[in-house]
Amino acid sequence: MSINSITRNSQPSIPIFKGEKYHLWSVKMQTLFKSQELWDIVECGYEEPNESPAEPNQKLRENRKKDAKALCFIQSAVDDDIFPRISTAKTSKDAWEIIKHEYRGDKKVISVKLQFLRSEFESLQMKDKEPIQGYLSKVSAIINQMKSYGEEISSQAIVSKVLRSLNPSFDNVVAAIEESKDLSTYTFDELMCSLLSHEVRIKKSKDEEVEEKAFQVQGQEMVEVEVEVKVVVVMVEVLMVAVVVEKKVVVV
């Protein structure tokens, strides 16, 4: 069996929605639909004729098949407690909109959530000993949530915020980026690469410093041991001389 055949026949992994973190589930499902060329049918639906023709044309048959497949994915992607909400949906678009409306919220709910996320984004500040990877993951999570609610946030705004919020250990790299990069075109991905590389260099430098100190301590300990050995040898020699002298005195 060829690799292509295996790929075509393999079933994609379906994320299960249990009522929490809708925005993450939604992104995963959209990627799944796009990989199966079904997103257009889920997002826009298709036109079903008022009267079902005796012999549906090729396009209609194709749309019905794609819609049934997409609906099957959605039904399989929700927990049993959520399934009753979409059990009567006849199309994938209907099922998708039901879940979206209930868990993403209406315009008022979205507005409130966005206001909270904007405030959270603006208050971001990296702690003194916080790993840069963890901080950037936190930033990315908030940005992705904002985008899932329709917020348009430019890469320039993200880069500017991150540079302002880094702890003092990154002052040098921030200054270097501001001097050498055009921040109007500098992307968040590029910034992440630069910051992660900087942290790797810092960690490597600290590790080398620790190793150097350990080597120095080890060398100092060896010197001290050598001195102690020499002292013992001298003491032994002195004792031996004393014994010889004592014997001579006794003989006389």
Residue 22 lies in a domain: yes
Residue 185 lies in a domain: yes
Indicate the residue among 104, 138, 160 that finishes a domain.
104
- The pLDDT value recorded for residue 213 is 66
Range of the domain at 122: 112-202
Indicate the residue among 71, 104, 137 that finishes a domain.
104
Q: What is the pLDDT of residues 160-209, one digit of tens each?
A: 999 999 999 899 999 999 999 999 999 999 999 999 988 887 777 666 56
| CB-CB contact of 42 with 92 (8 Å) | yes
| CB-CB contact of 23 with 149 (8 Å) | yes
- The pLDDT value recorded for residue 146 is 92
- The pLDDT value recorded for residue 56 is 73
State the Cα angle at 163 between 129 and 189, rounded to 5°: 100
pTM score of the predicted model: 0.58
153 in the same domain as 121 = yes
- The pLDDT value recorded for residue 77 is 97
Q: What is the residue whose two structure tokens read 């794609």? A: 66
116 in the same domain as 98 = no
117 in the same domain as 57 = no
Provide the percentage of residues in the chain whose pLDDT is more than 70. 77
Residue 152 backbone zone (phi > 0: left; psi -120 to 50: alpha; other: beta) = beta
Is 7's pLDDT higher than 60? no
- The pLDDT value recorded for residue 251 is 54
Nearest CA among 221, 166, 213, 215 for reference residue 194? 166
| CB-CB contact of 139 with 124 (8 Å) | yes
Provide the number of structural domains found in the chain: 2
17 in the same domain as 40 = yes
User: Quick one: average pLDDT of 242-249?
Assistant: 61
